[in-house]
Each structure stands twice: as structure tokens, then as C-alpha cells.
Amino acid sequence: MASSLNPLLLCFLILCLPSVCVFAQTSRSNIKVGDSFTADGNNTSWVVSPSGDFAFGFQPHKNNSFFLLSIWYANIPSKTIVWYANGDNPAPKWSRVQLTDSEGLKLTYPDGRILWAPENNPSGSVASGSLNDSGNFVLHDETSNSVWETFKNPKDTMLPSQTLEKGEKLSSRRSEADFARGRFQLVLQDDGNLVLHSVNLPSEYANENYFETGTSGADNSSRGIRLVFNKSGEFYVLRENNDTYTFSSQSFPSPSQFYLRATLNFDGVLTFYQHPKGSSGTWTPIWSKPDNICNAKLISEGTGICGYNSICRLGDNIRPNCTCPQGYSLLDPDDPYGSCKPDFIQGCKEDELSQGKDLYHFVELQDTDWPGSDYARLEPFTEDQCKRACMEDCFCAVAIFRAGDICWKKRLPLSNGKYDTSLNGGKALVKVRKDDSSLIGPPGPPIIERKNQDTLILAVSVLLGSSAFLNLVLIGALCLGLSSIYQFKKKLKNVYRSDSAVESNLRCFTYKELEEATNGFKEELGRGAFAVVYKGAINMGSAVNVAVKRLNTFLLQETEKEFKNEVNVIGQTHHKNLVRLLGFCEDGTERMLVYEYMSNGTLASLLFGDSKPNWNLRLKMAFGIARGLVYLHEDCDTQIIHCDIKPQNILLDDYFNARISDFGLAKLLNMNQSRTHTAIRGTKGYVALEWFKNMPITAKVDVYSFGVLLLEIICCRRSVDTEPENEERAILSDWAYDCYTTGCLKALVEEDQEALDDKNLEKFLMIAIWCIQEDPTLRPTMRKVSQMLEGVAEVPAPPCHNPNSVTTDHYLSLTLDG
């Protein structure tokens, strides 16, 4: 019987062994040199603490497209992260972390390039690593001594058993979901004072402290030496004389019953939290510092707790809420804690053009102030005098009236805005333009109603003093004159008729004028699906070269639609990277547009010609196109999506400045509208994939097209090559991504005599790959793209580009207009 059971027992053990091994692998708390772990989106934990409270590995970030190398609470549903390595550079899928003897921890991209490594490397003495029950990941040498640990390299959170020494700091995240470095810091200064302050990113300049413990001490013995979060859950500053500065008089919860953490939140509030163990409860704040961050000490050289022109008000959770005053809106709709911009244009020039007009009114806000933004104090002054003084001052954006007779005038941008009941009824008088608009050109002609009245009075006088026969003659002449005026106005109205108002600063040409200007439409500059462009010269004070776009009249409906789009879109835009519209013609069935002439042709002729332009010129053009799109997407009264960004629609002026043209396919959005559904528009090779998926169309379609265009600028070749020498190079975006992942960047510019250095080539290639992401939510805005191009913002590693969303055969067979 025993011998018959042994084989069964052996089989049972063999069958169970794999699962036992897997369990051991996923729950181990130690690793050794050579061990590695890959971000594949399946198993997230590399190591787990012996108690199972903490895990170390990859947490999904940004819709599972990226990952954070991090430590988190493993036993609560929220998986709260308490330490992270690569907040500024989330890792794309298939990135790998490895423990090496020479570098300690090393996080690499899928192609092996280093993404992150500790700043204070343990320098070749690493033998193993372990995650302990306090949540501290420690690297050991061969004698088991600690050579590096996460507790000594904190991010935004401290845990029981952790200390903060002089010079060490906590840094907040950029937002709740963005783990990039934020604006706020908790620092134990060399003088022993523990302080909270903001930093003016991207520099290291620290503003005044908005909270401090005051533990610098009158003598050395009372100075703080470290911030302590002990095993018992007590949180205090330890002084040299062993006295302590405690943050709260409340009794501390027991670490045996609660998880405890102290976190510097993204909004600058240091908060102590508790979460019941073995429960599905939530994190509960116990205390916060400062008690009211909106009323904390002002920041004179930064944006304040909330952004510029915003107002901070403490919420029920003792955390700040930021709002924009009436007439203002968020600069970045996705950042509720960011700056606010006026929804109108105010300035001395605009006010000067409207002299005598009642342009503004005041929005009154009780118990509201922007301290430190004033430039004039008027005292004694009544409230009416305060309003009048601000109304008559083109610099004044807000007036503050307080204490019954004091008036402060303030100019933009306003900082440290706050709601404060201690102001005892003080008012903020926000000056807002009544019509939410600004003057684009000089004021129109003076109203002539009075002149008409005078003429009528004169006519009546003549009639009363004349003979009956003469009266009949005069009445007949008057009727004839009125009829002629009516017919003229009717004709004039037909000339200017369109679905939207045509800008008054555009000149209306007759067909005959443009026929003469172009010498009978003789010299053709180019043609498209809906129009032919001719060169001409017009006398506008002096002879001016122009490009006359004559729309095809046989496509009347499409022609009319495109004509009205161009007139109404370009007529309202003014930017150095857009082609300027000088006038139009709407004469009978003829529809023509008159532009300033661009002497150096199109970007396509420059990029795809026999010789390649130098890098400085190409980059200058990329920067200019990006700035032009930022203007269209964010700075116009009506957001404009161009929908057809391609080299043929980028013109070059006398100085080779890039100018965006051809707005016939443009889609206009209202300021409160961010997306639309519309029929497919664009040109093959430059069209974002959402056009094919019946998805809402946003400004991100222009970002996609710009990404393709940027690749063409980098490589000086077309986005789609129907007869490539190598089939894998047919679609430029796919080939460029292959070169990026394999590190063969030089293949993209192999024929360039003056190629960029590898670092800058990789940077611009990464920006392009960001732009052509299949998921439009992953694409940056054009403002972010512009900042990355110009080196103002860092360029993180892009996620995987999916070349299989639209097959190559389908992509090449598209027959869109263009």
C-alpha cells in the first residue's frame, strides 16, 4: 500500500511544484545581482515585503501605456504609491529594471538605453536588494551593509521608521495623476528650520517659506537636527537638546491598527493620513500644515498656491480649491490649479482705439484679494472714486477697496489670489470687457445719423417755401434718389453676403481689378482640387505682389463653402507664421481670395528638391509652424483646426519664415467646444487615425499631421513613398519608429551632408513619435510640442507607435483631396 502511494504523492508534488515556484517568485522580498523585471502589464510586483504590506515593481501609469518603478501599499485597493523612481520619465511597455553590481538599480528602455538610475550610485559595491516591512527598499553590499535605500531618497511621502536629515527634502508631484516633479518642497534647512516653499520651475529658485516650524533656534542647542517619523507613528522635529517640535497635539493612531503616511500633496499641503488595516476603508487626513494654505504667507515671486489670476479658497477637506473670476478661464482646461487668462483683450492700444466708448464693467467679489500685485494706493478714496480711477487707467485690471477709504490698483498677472473672511467685507472690483472682445482694426466711420437729419430738415424747408410745381419736381427727384440709394445698398449687401460676418479690414476687389492685376490670370503658381493660384500685382498705395486664389466655379457648393471658410477664418487671424489675407472677390459666380505673395514657394519644393536645406533652416521652419498652430488652437477667439497641415500648405516668405496657408478645410470650434464630428478631411499620409474610426475630431488631428511633417523635415523625404527601394521604408512614420527603437538613427539622415548630432536628432524624432500616437489623448498639445522643440520642456521617451492600425496597403490607397 505504501509503495503504491509514493508514485501518487510524487506526481502530486510534481504537479504542485510549478505553482509553488510561481508563488515564491512573485512574493519574494530579496533579489540578487543580475535579477531583472520587465514592465509587461501583467505581473506588477517584483518583490514584496515579508508582511505583504508593501510591493516594489511597476505600477501602470497613463492608461497602461507607461509604467512607474515604484513602491506601494499592496493590501489596500487604492494601491497608494509611496515612492517612485521615474516620475519625470514614465517607462514605456517592455522597459526593464535590473540589479547590477556596478550601478545598483538600472531602469532601461526596451532598446537598452538607460531611462533612470539613482543619482547617488552605490558605486560598484552592490550584492543584493530587499524590501522590508517598513516599505524601505535597500541595496546591500557583500557584508549586508546598506549602500543605498529609498528612505534616503524620498519623493513626496514619509513612512513610519523614516527620517529626513538636514538638506534632504520631499518634493510634491505635478498633479494627482502626474508624478513629474511639482512646485512644492518640504526641506530641513542647515539652520535646523523645517520649511515649506514653492520653487519656480524649471529653475531651483525657492520662494519665501509659506510654512516653517521655527526650529532654527536662538542657540545651537534648540536647533532641529532631523525630521522623525518613528515606529510608534509620532511625527516631529528633533532638536539638538533632545526636545521636539510636534505638528499636532492629537494622539497618534497605532501603526499596528492603521497604515500611516505623511505626504506633501501636489497642492502644497503636508498631510498626515491613516488607513485602517484589513479594511476596505479610505485614507483619512488627521492633520495638515499649513492649516489654511490659501491664507499662508504670500509668495512674491511665484504664481502662488493657485496659478496667476486665480482665487484660492479652502475646501471642506482642508485642501485648496482654485477658481477663475468671472470673465476669466483656465489657461489649461486640464489643470484646475493652473493660471487663468482673461477671455477678452485689455490694453492701452485697444482702449485708445475705442475712446469715448463704455467698454468695461466691474465684477464685484466680496472678501477677495490678490495681495502684492498693486502698483498704486489711493487714500482717502470712496468706492466710486476707486472704480473711476481703475476704469480710466488702461493698466488697471482690478481695484481693491477696503477699510472704507483705501483703494489699490492692480495690474496683470495677479498672484496669490485668495478668499479671506478676515478682510471684513473688502471688495475686489474685477474690470471685465462688456462684449468679451477686442478691436482688431481701427474703429469704423463715424455715425452719420445727425447729418441725415440735417439734410431732411433742409429738404422740408425748401419744400415749404417753394411753388407747387417745383415741389412736385423736388419730390420726384427725392424719390428717385432714395430708390437709387436703396438699390446700391442692396447690391452692396449682396457683395458682402456670407454666413458669417466678413472682417471689415479686408478689401473687396472686383473681378475686373483682379483680372488686370494678374494680367489675365496668366502666371500660374499652383493648383489644387478646388482652386488655381495666380501671381499678380496690386496698387495698395504702392505696387504689392499678391497671390490670387481663384476657386473653381463648377463645384459651386464646395467652392462657396471653402470660400467662406477662408475669408472668415483667415480674416480674423494675425500671426507672423500665418499667410495674411489681403482681400477677396465675390462678383457674380466668381470667388477669389487675395493673399500676400510668398517669394520662396512651398516647403514641399524646398524639402523634396535636389539639394537639402541646412538643419538650422529646417528647424527654424519647424518652430515657426508649431507656433502658428499654437496660435490657431489656443490664442484665437474661435479655436481653429486646420485639418490639412502638409508641406504644400506651408509657404516661405522672403526670409524663409514658414507661413501656414490654405484654410479651405479648416474646422472652427467655439471656445467652450473641444471636439466635433465632421466628414473626413485632409491629405493622404497626413491624416490622423480618428478620421477613420468615427471618433470626435479635436485639435489633436493637427498635432498628428505636424508629427508627420516634422518627420519629413528631419528626413527630407515624403511621408508616403509608393515606390521605395525597401518596402519597410514605404511609410515614413513606421520606418522612423523602427529606426528609433533599434537605435539606427543615422539611417534616416544618411544622405545629409550636415546631419544633427545624435542627441538632438533623437530629441526631434521622439517629439515626432509623440505627435503621431494612435490614441489622440496621448498626443501632446501644440503648445507642449512647441515647448519641447525649443528646449523649454523635457522630452520623455514616447510610447510604442502602432503601425498596424491602418494597413500599409489601405494607407497608400487613400484618395483624399490634396
Active site residues: 644
Task: Check: CB of residue 514 under 8 Å from CB of residue 588.
Answer: no
Task: Check: CB of residue 364 under 8 Å from CB of residue 402.
Answer: no
At 216, the amino acid letter reads: S
Question: Three-class SS of residue 731?
Answer: strand
**Dist CA 708 CA 741 (whole Å):** 17
Any known ligand binding at 700?
Answer: no
- Long-range CB contacts (< 8 A, 24+ apart) of 56-62? 56/131, 56/137, 58/91, 58/95, 58/97, 59/84, 61/90, 61/179, 62/90, 62/177, 62/778
125: left (phi over 0), alpha (psi -120 to 50) or beta: alpha
404: left (phi over 0), alpha (psi -120 to 50) or beta: left
Q: Cα torsion for 288, 291, 293, 299, to the nearest 10°?
A: -110
CA distances from 690 to 65, 698, 772, 775 (A): 18, 9, 11, 8
**Dist CA 612 CA 608 (whole Å):** 8
Instruction: Quote the cell numbers at residue 131.
Output: 524590501
Beta strands (DSSP E) in 277-327 are 284-289, 311-314, 320-323
**Dist CA 97 CA 105 (whole Å):** 7
**Dist CA 226 CA 207 (whole Å):** 22
- Long-range CB contacts (< 8 A, 24+ apart) of 53-61? 53/133, 53/135, 53/259, 54/82, 54/131, 54/133, 54/135, 55/131, 56/131, 56/137, 58/91, 58/95, 58/97, 59/84, 61/90, 61/179
**Dist CA 324 CA 334 (whole Å):** 14
Closest CA to 224 of 157, 291, 290, 165: 165
Instruction: Quote the cell numbers at residue 359.
Output: 467698454
Longest dimension (CA), the chain: 145
Closest CA to 666 of 578, 569, 581, 551: 569
| Residue ranges at the known binding site for ATP | 549
| Residue ranges at the known binding site | 549
